Structure 1
Amino acid sequence: MPLKHGPSVDLEKLALEHIVPRLRSAGYCYLDNILGEELGDQVLAQVRHLHQEGALKDGQLAGNLRGVSKKHLRGDKIAWIAGTEEGCEAIGLVLSVIDRLVVLCGNHLGQCYVKERSKVHGGVLRIFPGGGSEVADVEPLFDRLLFFWSDRRNPHEVQPSYAIRYALTVWYFDAKERAAAKQRFKRLSESRQDPTSKDS
């Protein structure tokens, strides 16, 4: 089946009239039927193939949590995909569409300047917008695209899944956030290499 060139929608209009206003007012925004059935089926087939080939690995926990059941806290399987790998062409096309939408949101998102992204296959999501008591459960529907602030503005958690479900998840960093994260990583790496340093 030939690869489609992406969704036949006005991405600029989508970004400025739907994504930006919802992110600014509610902290999240989801769009349905963004890819179309043909491209969506191709993405699903490619992710299933990755799963069948054993490319999806158990998700890892951040930090040092000795004595904690990793399976209890995190039961997903992930693979880091750039979209340029052989057999991942449809995934790459989806990532390019998401990149384009984020670029089109541009400086309309307040102080955030989105600079770069990282990628992983993820799971089902529950969001607590603004850290308040409101709960937003976004159903994992086929061909749904969800945008949300994934920092302290929107505490969120992966909900249990009772069937095999696939999701493409992409994190974007603004320039200041990325620079701060690199500094923290550098300090952590240096402290681990220094035999005189002690774990806190």
Structure 2
Amino acid sequence: MDKQQQSELDLDRDRQYCELCGKMENLLKCGRCRSSFYCSKEHQKQHWKKHKLICKEVEKPLPLKVKSEPGPPPGGDTRAQKPPEKSPPEPADPAQAAPEVSAGEDGGSPATPNGQVSSSLQKLALEVIVPCMNTHGICVVNGFLGEETGLSVLGDVKALYETGKFTDGQLVSQKSDSTRDIRGDKIAWIEGREPGCEKIQFLMGRMDDLIRHCNGNLGNYTINGRTKAMVACYPGNGTGYVRHVDNPNGDGRCVTCIYYLNKDWTIKEHGGLLRIFPGGKTQFVDIEPKFDRLLLFWSDRRNPHEVQPAFATRLAPRSSSLCSSSSAPPCALMLLVPTVCRYAITVWYFDADERARAKEKYLTGQKAFWLPLMWICRRGLSRFLCSQVKGESRSNSENPPIPASRMTTSSTNAH
């Protein structure tokens, strides 16, 4: 199979979601047309009235290179009227249940000859991201950078963590000492120009390019900037984040963009599942924080979500530099440390109009938010503008409001 055919196949796989609720994982395939998917037999039954109108039509042509199956028995016209129990859905194979869309040949290169990477991102944006976001408000892309570049980004993040650059995520205007009950992550704010963050900067540039190709087609938004990247770590000691909304009060953020860095991650063993409740309903979408996975969703009240506890710890020797005395008993040289940390990098993109309204609220003394803005230009993020907007949300406590001539972090949410 050539690269173009593989790319088209990957794009087709990314369009797989439950026809009723939009869930994108652990899907079942329609046993008749084999082109529609459902998260459960119950959802297939509920959707049958609509699906049967196209299921019969899709069954007629057989795609090339697919082994023919016996044709329908006589009376096929009435077969579509029967309940789908007689043609039960089949579990999608692993590659289809976790669709992958490649963003380019080589994630480590900003461009390839003839603009292949740019063309690939544009196709991904217009054929996958835009329709998926406008229909479901959520989109998952696997294999965004490729394994080699993804591992390089992970290396940057681990170096930040090991050198103590992370601080406890906190809540602004908290009235009690309950922050750890609400969220247990550690975070670091990255502009991308810091030493040792070159691959993180590359990831941010790829995200910007993708959003730039989508701009003008994502809902009614006009995206003109973003926050710094928030690198978050959930140590494997049961830490998580309770159900919340990123932008509940119109601070300007319209799209939440998350990149996951968790190699060989399994929910059963490690936890850390992101659960989204589209429209605030009881139905939910589960997103596993798998390595090299990119997730996008609307930042407002349409997508309440939670990070379920991340586990996996072990008893390990303390570093000698942490021991105050070499004569300490053996038990004092042991420390419960996480074997696996859940890493994610989050960027929020701003809608120009909503952000302007948020700034106006601040200037007129109304309740609003303190947020940084990074303008997106053709040549990337060329300058920064910090609007002094305040209010109740999340923030890094080490970055209080400061003059606009300096960069600041903002009230945001970790995933």
**Structure 1 position 85 matched with structure 2 position 189:** no
- Tell which deviates more after alignment, 151-160 or 44-53: 151-160
Match of 1:58 in 2: 168
1:128-178 Cα shifts (integer Å, max 9, x gaps): 112222211100000000010011111112222114111110011100221
**Structure 1 position 37 matched with structure 2 position 147:** yes
Q: RCO higher in 1 or 2 (8 Å CA, sep ≥ 6)?
A: 1
Deviation at 1:66, TM superposition (A): 1.6
Structure 1 residues 9-158: aligned runs within 5 Å: 9=117, 10-62=120-172, 64-118=173-227, 119-122=229-232, 125-158=274-307
1:23-73 Cα shifts (integer Å, max 9, x gaps): 0111110100111111001000100000011111110113x2322411111
Larger helix share, 1 or 2: 1
Classify 1:19/1:68 alpha carbon distance in 2 versus 1 (closer, same or farther; 3 Å): same
1:169-197 Cα shifts (integer Å, max 9, x gaps): 001110022123323444367999xxxxx
Structure 2 contact 108–145 (Cα < 8 Å) conserved? no
- Tell which deviates more after alignment, 44-53 or 172-181: 172-181
Classify 1:191/1:132 alpha carbon distance in 2 versus 1 (closer, same or farther; 3 Å): closer
Unpaired runs of 5+ in structure 2?
A: 1-106, 235-271, 312-339, 368-387, 392-415
Letter in 2 for 1:133: T
Structure with bigger gyration radius = 2
- TM-score, normalised to structure 1, is 0.86
Deviation at 1:117, TM superposition (A): 0.7
Letter in 1 for 2:182: L
Classify 1:134/1:142 alpha carbon distance in 2 versus 1 (closer, same or farther; 3 Å): same
Match of 1:161 in 2: 310
CA RMSD between the two structures = 2.3
Match of 2:347 in 1: 170
Match of 1:4 in 2: 108
Percentage identity across aligned positions? 48
- Tell which deviates more after alignment, 43-52 or 178-187: 178-187
Match of 2:360 in 1: 183
- TM-score, normalised to structure 2, is 0.43
